[in-house]
Amino acid sequence: MSLLPDGTGLVLDHWGAPVIGGVEPWSEPERVLSFVTPADVAPLEYASAGHRHTAFSELLVDRGDSRTGARFTCADPEAAGAVSFVIDGEDSILIVRFVDESGELTLTTRTSTSVAHDVVRRSATIENRSASRTITLPRVFSGGWALPVGQRARIDYLAGSWANEFHREHVELHWGTFSIGSRQGVTSLAFSPVVTVSALDDDSHAIAELGAYGIALEWSGCWRLQAESVAVGERLRVSCGVDDDTTTVTLLPGESFSAPDTVGLWSPAGPGGVSVGWHKYQRDYLARDLGEHHRPVVYNSWYATEFDVNVEQQLELARYAAELGAEVFVVDDGWFVGRVSDKAGLGDWTPDPAKFPDGLAALAQSVLDLKMRFGIWVEPEGVSEDSDLYRRHPEWVYQAAGRPLVTVRNQLVLDLGRDDVVAWVEDLLRRLLNSTPISYLKWDMNRSVSDGGRAGDPHGREWSVQHTRGYYRVLEMLRREFPGVTVEACSSGGGRIDNAVLARSDVVWTSDETGPVDRLGIQHGFLSAYPAHVMSSWVSDERGHHDRRDVSFEFRFTVAMAGVLGIGSDVTAWTPDQCVRAGELIARYKQIREIVHRGDVTVHGRPELPLYALEYSQTNEHTQSVCVIVYDRDRDRRRDTEAPRIRLSSLVADARYRIEGSDAIVTGAQAAVLGVDVPFALAADTDILVFHRLG
């Protein structure tokens, strides 16, 4: 990056393959400039309308008068506080402070890189320094990424809906704007705040030498991410931040606003390399640790009992779960007073004495006696109209402008932008965790916010920002005060999953779809942006909402073993043979768990094609272990007899590997070029192969 000679912005000189001999600072291309202003062409790191005129800007400023926008300058980079460059451990941080022409506003941009991972992190803060003027920001994005891919690019993104999240989709962008986002107060089931961008030639083929770029927004409220391609500048601009439809930021005199971080990475290895880069960052930087404690084998009773919970039946399930090898027993929805269906009870977080005559702590103790940890489901942001909490505090729910209340899943949402509501949520969780030996919390959020806002509050149009920060505050309190408690983040399945949630929770409930064939497709998309060590996945008896074909019992397990294995079936209804087999499979999972959670993953094929596989490779200082989970859902229905072989990519060519469970030894080159046999020893439609490097 360099500062423009007139100080009006930072520009991106180069981002991509290392250039021997160095890179010239960006300069204005003469030819183009005869018809466009310099600011509209410049690959600005952060653009403000008022400086830019026709191109997209990350910042819109409204001072309540006829002046549009703001023109920021870092006039004297040598002046105190204007530019600072700090090395903090593994991170290098560049902070540049700009002041607008009126002196009323400052813009501070922060860019950091790390030697520990390939991710560049950026943020922006705007401060209103005027003594008396209120300034509003109709758009205040986090930053723009002027990607040097030319005008034609492929954008890979994730899209879906309830029980159908994380499908890999792509567009080819040549002219115009592509935009995704959420206006729902949560990250959303529809889109994930992350894209992968690759350069295309005129025939729409990838220009492999240019690698690929991943851009993400670390935010769990309303958001928008857009890519814009125009003829000037030869750059594709990706901009993202808090959604500008639902949010207007108000800065009273003296106030400032910090936009959420946007992160990006470049990989020479194309989109697959971008996924590996994200996973490494999520493992080494975002996760508090990768140990088994916070990614245990869960038994969750939701599918077995739904709202019809009672202590005897939960204990019976717990006995089975312990026998199978589960490490935590989680009682899902339905344990608290009034919660006999999704129509009532949310907000009244007292164990139902009719269901637990001796209290919840008695069940928890019995679970501990079975050598498992105990966990519960909570939805602290939700409230039922039919609840004591709502009767006591109707003013705590969102009801913008006093319009009629709208319920979704029969519930309303508490306004976590209010300090008193956050304090109430914190107290409620402290009370639960201190009174009962709970060490696993599944935090759900089943209601998008359709009516956010707070009448009479100048900051009411920032409800989504405030709500999200309230949510983070509580998660951070849990980490600080209850470090042993594992948090599983959930929102009607995968409705609130992003890097910011990954930084504050341990695992995420990927989707309410547990039918194995559909689920495999969802996990395929999930793994392109998010890692296996957070991907909570249960074996259930469900068939799937879309693809209802039969697969083997083992296939159900290997789908869930691709991340953080859990069991959600009514295990008391399993046959004795199934129970024995499940116990064996859980034991097998515990053997490969470390490789799955810590390894780099390469995806082979697509779930709907024959021989889909996930190859996890974990390299320690002197050893390498590779685990390959193979799926072929129709194999036993096809007529082909040829022995299937799979070509692996993560083995070192001249190293030798022992294949677990056999005497066979292969070299990395053999495995890559000739492939290895898949014996389908585990079941007719799935297998697990493990390779250990020798010497």
- Which residues contact ligand GLA by CB under 6 A? 302, 332-333, 377, 444, 446, 490, 492-493, 509, 512
Is 512 among the residues known to form the active site? Answer: yes
Closest CA to 504 of 533, 538, 480: 480
Rounded CA gap, 230 and 28, in Å?
A: 16
Asked if 348 and 387 touch (Cβ cutoff 8 Å), the reply is: yes
The least distance separating ligand GLA from the CB of residue 427, rounded to whole angstroms, comes to 23
Alpha-helical runs (H) found in 270-333: 270-281, 302-305, 311-324
Asked if 509 and 540 touch (Cβ cutoff 8 Å), the reply is: no
The least distance separating ligand GLA from the CB of residue 333, rounded to whole angstroms, comes to 4
Name the residue nearer to ligand GLA (CB basis): 118 or 332: 332
| Sign of the Cα pseudo-torsion (429, 430, 435, 437, in order) | positive
Name the residue nearer to ligand GLA (CB basis): 510 or 618: 510
The least distance separating ligand GLA from the CB of residue 384, rounded to whole angstroms, comes to 12
Q: Which residue is nearest to ligand GLA, using beta carbons?
A: 333
Name the residue nearer to ligand GLA (CB basis): 234 or 386: 386
The least distance separating ligand GLA from the CB of residue 170, rounded to whole angstroms, comes to 28
Name the residue nearer to ligand GLA (CB basis): 377 or 631: 377
Name the residue nearer to ligand GLA (CB basis): 300 or 468: 300
Strand residues in 500-653 grouped as ranges (E): 507-509, 535-539, 564-567, 600-604, 612-619, 624-631, 645-646
Closest CA to 523 of 568, 569, 562, 565: 562
List the 686-693 sheet strands across, edge first. 600-604, 612-619, 624-631, 686-693, 656-659, 665-667
The least distance separating ligand GLA from the CB of residue 618, rounded to whole angstroms, comes to 30
Q: Can you read off the two tokens belonging to residue 490?
A: 């959930």
Rounded CA gap, 241 and 686, in Å?
A: 42
The least distance separating ligand GLA from the CB of residue 488, rounded to whole angstroms, comes to 10
The least distance separating ligand GLA from the CB of residue 352, rounded to whole angstroms, comes to 15
Which residue in the list 332, 352, 506, 512 is annotated as catalytic? 512
Name the residue nearer to ligand GLA (CB basis): 147 or 567: 567
Q: How many residues does the chain have?
A: 695
Is 444 among the residues known to form the active site? Answer: yes
Rounded CA gap, 180 and 631, in Å?
A: 32
Angle between helices 360-369 and 311-324 in degrees, nearest 10? 20
Q: Residue 518 — φ and ψ, nearest 5°?
A: -60, -40
Name the residue nearer to ligand GLA (CB basis): 107 or 475: 475
Closest CA to 539 of 549, 554, 523, 524: 554
Which single residue is written with the structure tokens 């249960």? 538
Amino acid 261 reads D
Neighbouring residues of 32: CB distance < 8 A, sequence distance ≥ 6: 41, 232, 233
Name the residue nearer to ligand GLA (CB basis): 249 or 378: 378
Which residue in the list 156, 333, 352, 444 is annotated as catalytic? 444
Could you tell me whether strands 665-667 and 656-659 are parallel, antiparallel, or unpaired per DSSP bridges?
Answer: antiparallel
The least distance separating ligand GLA from the CB of residue 446, rounded to whole angstroms, comes to 5
Q: Let me know if 662 is exposed, middle or buried by CB neighbors in 10 A (0-12, 13-18, 19+).
A: exposed
Catalytic residues: 444, 512
